């Protein structure tokens, strides 16, 4: 029986809840540690539990970056073994049950050791909306529809979901000021993104062909690339983002594998009249199944909401397949066309995944139209940009008729006040 068969049930009861993010058809990988234990373990989420793969006798190492380097056949065989052991009626139940631990009792960390980080700009509706704020007559630059735009970010400040960070300081310049000043950012924003984790490396000088690209991808996570828009507006020309982006990013703990996402593939198309990609970014397979139907949500919980036990408001919904101008395979092929060597654990950010409608925006820069319109929240508060104590929670899920719904968990981060000025 196929691991994605919607009829599969697990002996882990919580995994059979239709609303559960982690049914037996999902089996995402992540790292966790028990209270008082400094060492990270490799786990697979199943319902409200985590299966410790080493304790279950399925692996002999706790090095996630070693695991994600597995060749696709070995990776698929491991997933099949895990699935067989967690299914209803499995003769491995006793051994696997002894290796389960409740998610609520462990600390979830970064899904792997992230060595390098590239942020792309694949969200065309975001690019159009932001471009119109600055270049109403030409929102997209001429290269946008030809080349996947990206820049290298800072891996050292990528945080695990559930963590907090201090509001950044940096240079800003008011339009009427004679010179810039160092201040705490007043226009702090989130960005709704997906993270793409590289599993298998390539050698320097050896580009990855588009039809081989997904063999190098292990899984997908939720990703929030926090942005200081006032710092960004002053620093980004001519080289692009720097301090406005590298102070913090947040990634969800679970890597949903491409195998689990297989039932949610869609054809990849472009609007009529748009250019066909150059040959190294184009293939029949990419056109037939390159898009992935992933629903995305952004929730905002203010400090006042948290104190009142309010879960927060959903302020935006979009979908990866509708938002992305480029596919996962195209990003890998483009990143390596010049001979760049990717390493296991490298992270690609998708860029902000806004939908085509204004209410589907993946950032406050869009939702507030550059700070000109306040976002009204259900408890009477308003926002144009983030305030201290605000938490942003990203959620993602895949669902369609004839397949079991799977989810990505959550990606949560909280804004703390800026450090006192030195």
**DSSP symbol at 111:** S
Class of the domain covering 117-416: alpha beta
Cβ-proximal residues to 153 (8 Å cutoff; 6+ apart), any chain: 117, 118, 119, 225, 241, 245, 246, 249, 349
The CATH architecture assigned to 13-108 reads Roll (2.30)
Task: Using CA atoms of 73, 78, 81, 85 in order, give the dihedral in degrees to the nearest 10.
Answer: -160
CB distance 20 to 407 below 8 Å: yes
Catalytic residue ranges: 126
The owner of tokens 């290269």 is: 143
pLDDT at residue 322 in the model:
96
Of 370, 352, 416, give the one whose Cα is nearest residue 169: 416
- Listed in order, strand segments (DSSP E) in 128-211 are 150-152, 158-160, 163-166, 169-172, 181-184, 188-189, 192-198
Rounded to whole angstroms, the Cα distance separating 157 from 260 reads 29
Token pair for 185? 């950012």
**DSSP symbol at 66:** H
- Each residue's pLDDT, cut to its tens digit, for the chain (422 residues) gives 599 999 999 999 999 999 999 999 999 999 999 999 999 999 999 999 999 999 999 999 999 999 999 999 999 999 999 999 999 999 999 999 999 999 999 999 999 999 999 999 999 999 999 999 988 888 999 999 999 999 999 999 999 999 999 999 999 999 899 999 999 999 999 999 999 999 999 999 999 999 999 999 999 999 999 999 999 999 988 888 999 999 999 999 999 999 999 999 999 999 999 999 999 999 999 999 999 999 999 999 999 999 999 999 999 999 999 999 999 999 999 999 999 999 999 999 999 999 999 999 999 999 999 999 999 999 999 999 999 999 999 999 999 999 999 999 999 999 999 998 75
pLDDT at residue 134 in the model:
83
CB distance 68 to 217 below 8 Å: no
Query: Number of helices (H) and strands (E), helices first, in the chain?
Result: 11, 26
- In the chain, what are the domain boundaries? 13-108, 117-416
Burial of 308 (0-12, 13-18, 19+ CB in 10 A): exposed
CB distance 21 to 295 below 8 Å: no
pLDDT at residue 269 in the model:
95
């Amino acid at each position: 029986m196929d691991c994605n068969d919607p009829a599969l049930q697990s002996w882990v009861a919580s995994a059979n809840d239709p609303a559960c993010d982690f049914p037996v058809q999902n089996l995402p990988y992540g790292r966790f540690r028990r209270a008082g234990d400094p060492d990270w373990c490799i786990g697979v989420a199943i319902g409200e539990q985590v299966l410790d793969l080493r304790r279950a006798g399925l692996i002999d190492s706790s090095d996630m970056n070693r695991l994600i380097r597995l060749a696709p056949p070995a990776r698929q065989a491991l997933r099949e073994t895990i699935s067989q052991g967690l299914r209803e009626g499995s003769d491995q139940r006793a051994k696997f049950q002894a290796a389960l631990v409740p998610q609520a009792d462990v600390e979830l960390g970064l899904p792997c050791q992230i060595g390098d980080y590239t942020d792309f700009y694949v969200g065309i509706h975001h690019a159009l909306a932001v471009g119109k704020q600055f270049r109403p007559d030409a929102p997209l630059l001429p290269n946008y529809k030809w080349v996947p735009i990206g820049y290298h970010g800072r891996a050292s400040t990528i945080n695990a979901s559930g963590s907090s960070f201090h509001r950044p300081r940096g240079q800003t310049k008011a339009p009427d000021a004679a010179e810039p000043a160092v201040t705490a950012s007043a226009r702090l924003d989130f960005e709704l993104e997906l993270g793409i984790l590289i599993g298998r490396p390539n050698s320097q000088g050896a580009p990855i062909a588009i039809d081989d690209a997904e063999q190098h991808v292990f899984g997908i996570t939720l990703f929030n690339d926090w942005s200081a828009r006032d710092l960004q507006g002053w620093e980004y020309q001519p080289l692009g983002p720097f301090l406005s982006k590298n102070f913090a990013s947040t990634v969800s703990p679970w890597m949903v594998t491409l195998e689990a996402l297989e039932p949610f593939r869609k054809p990849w198309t472009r609007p009529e009249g748009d250019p066909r990609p150059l040959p190294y970014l184009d293939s029949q397979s990419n056109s037939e199944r390159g898009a992935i139907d992933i629903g995305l949500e952004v929730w905002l919980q203010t400090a006042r909401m948290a104190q009142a036990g309010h879960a927060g408001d959903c302020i935006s919904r979009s979908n990866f397949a509708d938002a992305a101008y480029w596919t996962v395979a195209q990003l890998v092929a483009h990143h390596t066309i010049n001979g760049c060597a990717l390493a296991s654990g490298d992270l690609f950010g998708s860029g902000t995944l806004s939908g085509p409608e204004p209410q589907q925006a993946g950032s406050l820069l869009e939702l507030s139209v550059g700070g000109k319109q306040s976002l009204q929240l259900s408890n009477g508060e308003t926002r144009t940009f983030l305030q201290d104590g605000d938490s942003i929670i990203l959620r993602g899920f895949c669902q369609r008729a004839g397949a079991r719904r799977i989810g990505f968990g959550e990606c949560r981060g909280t804004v703390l006040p800026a450090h006192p000025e030195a």
